[in-house]
Amino acid sequence: MDSTNNTPNMRLNQMLERLKESDFRITPQRYAVLHVLANSPDHPSVESIHAELLDNYPTMSLATVYKTINLLKQEGEILELEFSDLSNRYDGKKPYPHPHVICTKCGKITDPSQLNLEEITNKMMEETGFKIVSHRLDFYGICPNCLE
């Protein structure tokens, strides 16, 4: 269990607090998007968040989801996984870099247990002279379901 993410509501509250502190308004639409991001066990796309919310918020626009996502990105409250050939995916539960295992058939994304990349990151900084601030480690393959 992650100390920064004991329960979904705790994570939701953290996000809400961050927005309030930065003087952003908490609208029903924003609250709803945050709620999905704080509770999704998988890594939703903008499209899937929008689709999920349409039932309860029939006027919710895709633009609002995009704008909320960008706000959270800017505030460092979500992690964005970029894909050029399909839509991006987001992790609101663990907004810091961590490894992912991605099924290249169905798109399922799971988080394996934490790997410590600190030592490797330090080596990279020494070797390249970069000031490294983030990383991305993805394993691509076929998930157990798709293997059957």
Partner DNA sequence: TTTCGTGCAAAAGCTTTGCATTAGC
Partner DNA sequence: GCTAATGCAAAGCTTTTGCACGAAA
- Does 62 bind its own copies (CB under 8 A)? Our answer is no
Judged on CB neighbours under 10 Å (0-12, 13-18, 19+), 15 is buried
Shortest spacing between CB 111 and DNA, in angstroms: 20
Dist. CA 16–CA 24, nearest whole Å: 9
Query: Which residues 84-113 are close enough to bind its own copies by CB under 8 A?
Result: 84-85, 88, 99, 101, 103-104, 110, 112-113
Look up residue 29 and give its two tokens: 């639409």
Structure tokens at 78: 């979500």
Distance in Å, CB of 137 to its own copies, minimum: 5
**Window 28-47: residues binding DNA (CB under 7 A):** 28-30, 45-47
On whether the CB atoms of residues 99 and 136 are closer than 8 A, the answer is no
Give the residues lining the site for its own copies (CB under 8 A): 82-85, 88, 99, 101, 103-104, 110, 112-113, 115, 120-121, 124-125, 127-144, 147
